[in-house]
Amino acid sequence: MRTKFDPEKHHRRSIRLKKYDYSQPGGYFITIVTYQRDCLFGEIIGSEMQLNDFGCIVDECWRAIPDHFPNVELGAYVVMPNHVHGIIVIHAGMAPNSAPSVGAQHAAPLQKPNVKPGSLGAIVRSFKSAVTHRIGREVNATGIWQRNYYEHVIRNHEDWDRIHRYIESNPSLWAEDEENPVGAQYIAPM
C-alpha cells in the first residue's frame, strides 16, 4: 500500500544556512557521497586510498574546478571509496564562469533558478555533472551521486586546521568512518 503524499511530513528541508550567500568569498568544507554509499572510486589499502578508473575521473574533475571557476581555489581534498571531502575557497574580484564549457573535463551544469552562478551550489553541481558525464561516456555507468551534499562554512583558522587534518587523515580512519558501509573491505596495514 502506497502512502499518500503529505507535504507536512514529506517535504525536503534545506541543510543550508538560511539567508547565507554561498557565492560570497570564503572557505567551504564539503562532502559529496555516492548513490547508496556504493564504493565506486577505489579502496583503502594500508591506510591509503587506491583510486580505480572512476576514482581517477573524480580526482581529475575535482582538480579541474578552478579551470572553470577562476575565482575558486582548492584546499585539501580526498577521494574516498564512496565519497569526496574537500575545501573550496571562493575569492572576490573575479567574475565566476557560470557555464563551464563541455569538454573532456566538464559537462555544462544544469541550471536551476535558485542556484546563483558561481556559488558553492553551482560549483558542486558542475563537478558532479562533469564526473557523471565522463563516467557515463567512458564506462557507460550511471547513478554516481546521492542527491545534495554536506557543507560547512569555515569560520576561522582553527576551523580550517581541524578540517584540513580531518581530510588528510580520512583514509587512515576508514574503518571507523560513518560513510563506510557495512561490509566495506578494509585492508589493515601490515
Q: What is the CATH number of the domain that holds 48?
A: 3.30.70.1290
- What pLDDT score was predicted for residue 109? 44
Distance between CA atoms of residues 63 and 60, nearest Å: 5
Handedness of CA 141, 146, 148, 150 (dihedral sign): negative
Query: Does 186 reside within a domain?
Result: no
Distance between CA atoms of residues 69 and 135, nearest Å: 21
- What pLDDT score was predicted for residue 50? 97
Query: Does 79 reside within a domain?
Result: yes
Q: What stretches in the chain show pLDDT beneath 70? A: 1-18, 93-114, 182-190
Query: Does 70 reside within a domain?
Result: yes
Residues 90-116: tens digit of each pLDDT: 998 654 444 333 333 444 444 455 678
Tell me the three cell numbers of residue 184.
566495506
Handedness of CA 4, 36, 140, 78 (dihedral sign): positive
Tell me whether strands 186-187 and 42-45 are parallel, antiparallel or unpaired: parallel
Query: Does 99 reside within a domain?
Result: yes
Residues 159-168: tens digit of each pLDDT: 999 999 999 9
Query: Does 84 reside within a domain?
Result: yes
Query: Does 130 reside within a domain?
Result: yes
Query: Does 32 reside within a domain?
Result: yes
Question: In terms of residue numbers, what domain contains 63?
Answer: 26-173
Query: Does 11 reside within a domain?
Result: no
| pTM across the whole model | 0.78
Number of domains the chain is built from = 1
Tally of residues, the chain: 190
